[in-house]
């Protein structure tokens, strides 16, 4: 099968299909190697020989309208918890939390995965269309290469987007699950809706860590920026705190170096970055692979739309591995963090649920 990607930008009623018919995607070992590059990028949380940065150089690009139609609204999935998964998570949580209590990290993100095996495989492109219909406010991507296998994601978080002149990134952190009475919450919210969401000090602090980190990165690269926020924004069944950063770059030829500074942000890694990233690699139960990396088209002279790879599902025949994580601070509580990962996994689990139940 040729390497390809389908992606639908937020609020659009069409998607883009890119295919590389000739050869294999370019493999890069460093985010900074994206300097001056053009194509469709799939980057991992941390590049390795088995999970390199992959840059598709498509020779086919097609815009395709998709049926808006109707889609199943979000419903909470009352699935039985996997007690073994929960015990394993609790053990690792304690290991991470101990580092926070000792002051070694200010914040660190703990991720987990869960595998669902179905009796038969579901058409990946149909799952992509259903995700587009179900999550109109999110970037939806289906990407395949022989090196990475198939990944489907519906992500709310911009890492970097721009047109060569004006650029935009965001600090997205803090998570709360909407209850049944809040399912009409929209982006942007209707008057009075945002005020009904009460954020804990833990969530507020977590989001500020991310925002301050992004500010430091932009200053390091000589970017003059404007910040707006934070404000409450919705992603599927969840709401987050978001701040937007708009800026210009002195040198777009060094876009890879800016991305190398930004990625991974504290929203998916921690503070300090390098120490937290290595701790995550050493201690999480399952390698993240392309979860919490970034994905999308990159072009220093044209349009760039790079999103953090969140709400991910890796597809291998009839096996579906879901990924989710949450930011930990010193006052984090294990049960609450577990439930947050369960709620995040529902974004992809709901697509499987719709296709396997009457």
Q: Read off the pLDDT band of 83 (50, 70, 90).
A: confident
Q: Alpha-carbon torsion 339, 344, 350, 351, what sign?
A: negative
- Name the band, by pLDDT with cuts 50, 70 and 90, for residue 81: low
Residues 6+ apart with CB under 8 A from 330: 97, 100, 101
Residues forming a β-bridge with 175 = 240
What does the alpha-carbon distance between residue 281 and residue 260 come to, in Å, rounded to a whole number?
18
Nearest to 207 by CA among 189, 224, 230: 230
What burial class does residue 12 get, using C-beta atoms within 10 Å of its C-beta: 0-12 exposed, 13-18 middle, 19+ buried? middle
- pLDDT bracket for residue 354 (50, 70, 90): confident
The CATH number that applies at residue 292 is 3.60.120.10
24 inside domain: yes
More confident call, 313 vs 82: 313
33 falls within a domain: yes
**75, part of any domain:** no
Residue 76's pLDDT band (cuts 50, 70, 90): very low
Boundaries of domain holding 328? 3-68+82-356
Task: Look at the chain and report how many structural domains it folds into.
Answer: 1
| Distant-in-sequence, close-in-space partners of 193: CB < 8 Å, separation ≥ 6 | 185, 186
Q: What pTM value is reported for the model?
A: 0.93
Cα(331)–Cα(311) distance, rounded to whole angstroms? 25
Spatial CA neighbour of 213 closest among 288, 158, 264: 264
């Amino acid at each position: 099968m040729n390497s390809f990607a389908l992606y639908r930008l937020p609020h659009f009623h069409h998607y883009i299909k890119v295919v590389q018919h000739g050869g294999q995607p370019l493999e890069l070992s460093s985010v900074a190697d994206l300097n001056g590059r053009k194509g469709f990028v799939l980057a991992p949380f941390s590049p390795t020989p088995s999970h390199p940065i992959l840059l598709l150089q498509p020779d086919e690009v097609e815009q395709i309208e998709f049926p808006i139609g109707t889609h199943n609204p979000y419903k909470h999935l009352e699935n039985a918890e996997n007690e073994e998964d929960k015990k394993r998570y609790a053990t690792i949580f304690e290991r991470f939390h101990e580092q926070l209590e000792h002051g070694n990290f200010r914040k660190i993100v703990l991720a987990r995965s869960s595998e669902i095996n179905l009796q038969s495989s579901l058409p990946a492109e149909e799952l992509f269309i259903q995700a587009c219909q179900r999550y109109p406010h999110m970037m939806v991507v289906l990407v395949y290469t022989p090196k990475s296998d198939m990944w489907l994601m519906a992500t709310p978080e911009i890492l970097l987007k721009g047109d060569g002149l004006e650029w935009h990134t965001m600090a997205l952190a803090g998570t709360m699950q909407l209850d049944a009475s809040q399912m009409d919450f929209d982006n942007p919210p209707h008057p009075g809706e945002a005020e009904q969401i009460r954020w804990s000090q833990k969530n507020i602090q977590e989001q500020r860590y991310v925002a301050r980190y992004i500010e430091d990165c932009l200053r390091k690269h000589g970017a003059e920026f404007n910040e707006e926020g934070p404000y409450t924004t919705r992603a599927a069944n969840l709401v987050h705190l978001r701040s937007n950063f708009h800026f210009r770059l002195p040198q777009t030829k060094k876009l890879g170096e800016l991305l190398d500074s930004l990625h991974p942000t504290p929203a998916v890694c921690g503070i300090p970055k390098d120490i937290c990233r290595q701790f995550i690699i050493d201690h999480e139960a399952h390698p993240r692979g392309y979860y919490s990396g970034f994905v999308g088209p990159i072009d220093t002279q044209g349009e760039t739309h790079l999103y953090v790879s969140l709400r991910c599902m890796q597809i291998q025949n009839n096996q579906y591995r879901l990924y989710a994580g949450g930011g930990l601070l010193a006052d984090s509580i294990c049960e609450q963090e577990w439930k947050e990962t369960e709620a995040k996994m529902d974004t992809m689990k709901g697509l499987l649920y719709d296709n396997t139940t009457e």
